[in-house]
Amino acid sequence: MSTEPEWLVPASLDEALALRAERREGATVVAGGTFVGILVNSRLMAPEAFLSLQRVAGLDYIRGDGDLRIGALTTHRAVELSPVVRKGWPALAQAFSVVASPRVRNQATVGGVLADADYASDPPSMFVALGARAVARSVREEREVPVEELITGFYETSLEPDELLVEVVVPGGEHRAAYRKFRSRSHEDRPAVGVAVCRRPGELRVVVGAVAGTPQWFPELCDPEAPPAEVARSYAAAIDPIADVSGSAEYRRRVIEVEVRRALEAVA
């Protein structure tokens, strides 16, 4: 009868990239497995082959020299606990610390949470607010893409079928940032609304996650001088929220206004 799915387990990045170029969409990339595992178990996905990054060395690192560089196979837990991240980018450590449970955070990777483009995740909106860029590599080239351009829709990214996400770069420099996760159910739940804000000199970014296919950022509404309540109102009006088991669209709109205001007050 059926054959078990094929497991491709490259031991180096070069080998992984070669396999990626060869198999393209024919092999589903899996790192920590917390996202793909749910889809397979729910029978929403039945790949013929997996390209596992589990044995790929050299992509598990955090370097904070000026900019912050995080290897794609770094776990959520490592980011959450990293002294470098906590000191220089504490809001990012905070955004990773509120994902699911320690069991999940010990397994889920930074590359995974971006490449899955799951709308109901915490870290992507924080990365966008911080101005982070994803590094994509293929056998052809290496390129950088801003996270807001990486995630293009529900579970969709601008990664090419031969590319792997290998690193995330978060700009350093003076900033104040905050992440607020609003859960409507269990503490381990996904966000109903996630709000990431970041103030840099002369610049404000407000990004709302878990309410649409992509992190919602409206540069034209981010007047650094505007009172928090005003920015919050304009975000609530600008976003067309989805409805799911975590809350209705109308309810989410209300929470967006509350939580954007609170997040901005935290970095006032």
Partner 1 sequence: MTDARVTGAARYSEDVDLDGQLHARLVRSPFAHARVLAVEAGAVPSGCVTLLPDDVRGLARYGVQIEDESVLALDRVRYVGDVVAAVAAETPRDAEEAAALVQVDYEEAPPVLDVVEAVAPGAPLVHDEIALASGGAAYFGMRPQPGTNVCHRFQLHHGDVAAAWAQADVVVEETYRTAAAQHAAMEPHACVARWDGDRLEVFTGTQTPFNLREELARVFGLAPDRVRIVVPPMGGSFGAKTFLRTEAVAAALARKAGRPVKLVLPRAEEWQTLNRHGAVVTMKLGALADGTLLALETTCLADTGAYADCGPGVAQKMGFAAPGPYRIPNVRVDARCVYTNLPPAGAFRGYGQMQSAWARERAVDLLAERLGLDPLELRLRNLLRDGDVYCTGETMHDLHFAECLEASAKAIAWHEGREGKGLSVILKGMQTPSRASIRVEREDDGAYTLRCATTEMGQGARRAITLLAAELLEVEPELVRFPDPDTDLVPFDTRTTSSRSTYMMACALEAAVRDLRENGGAVGEGEALEEGGLDPDTGQGIASTHWHQGAAGAEVRVDEETGKVEVVRLHCAVYAGRVVNRAGAELQNEGSMIMGLGTALFEEVVAAEGQVTNANLSDYPVPSFADLPGRLTQELIERDGAEVHGLGETALPPVPAAVGNAVASLGIPVTELPLTPERVLEAAARVAEKVA
Report, in Å, the least distance between residue 82 CB and partner 1. Answer: 21
User: Could you tell me which of 173, 178, 124, 118 has the C-alpha nearest to residue 146?
Assistant: 124
**Residue 254 engages partner 1 in binding (rule: CB under 8 A):** yes
Question: Is 18 or 266 the residue whose CB approaches partner 1 more closely?
Answer: 266
Residues 33-62, interacting with partner 1 (CB under 8 A): 38, 41-43
For helices 249-266 and 228-238, what crossing angle results, to 10°? 150
Near partner 1 by CB under 8 A: residue from 9, 18, 21, 251: 251
Location of structure tokens 């709000």: 195
**Residue 218 engages partner 1 in binding (rule: CB under 8 A):** no
**Residue 260 engages partner 1 in binding (rule: CB under 8 A):** no
Question: Is 45 or 139 the residue whose CB approaches partner 1 more closely?
Answer: 45
Report, in Å, the least distance between residue 245 CB and partner 1. Answer: 5
Report, in Å, the least distance between residue 173 CB and partner 1. Answer: 33
Residues 95-114, interacting with partner 1 (CB under 8 A): 101
CB 98 within 8 A of CB 152: no
Stretch touching partner 1 by CB under 8 A, among 79-87, 137-145, 201-209, 247-255: 247-255
The distance in angstroms from the start CA to the end CA of the chain is: 63
Report, in Å, the least distance between residue 189 CB and partner 1. Answer: 5
Backbone φ, ψ for residue 9 (5° rounding): -125, 75
Near partner 1 by CB under 8 A: residue from 65, 186, 201, 225: 186
**Residue 258 engages partner 1 in binding (rule: CB under 8 A):** yes
Residues 104-163, interacting with partner 1 (CB under 8 A): none
Near partner 1 by CB under 8 A: residue from 96, 182, 217, 235: 182
Stretch touching partner 1 by CB under 8 A, among 59-67, 145-153, 195-203, 240-248: 240-248
Question: Is 168 or 255 the residue whose CB approaches partner 1 more closely?
Answer: 255
**Residue 185 engages partner 1 in binding (rule: CB under 8 A):** yes
CB 7 within 8 A of CB 49: yes
- The contact set with partner 1 (CB under 8 A) reads 1-2, 4, 38, 41-43, 101, 182, 184-190, 245, 247-248, 251, 254-255, 258-259
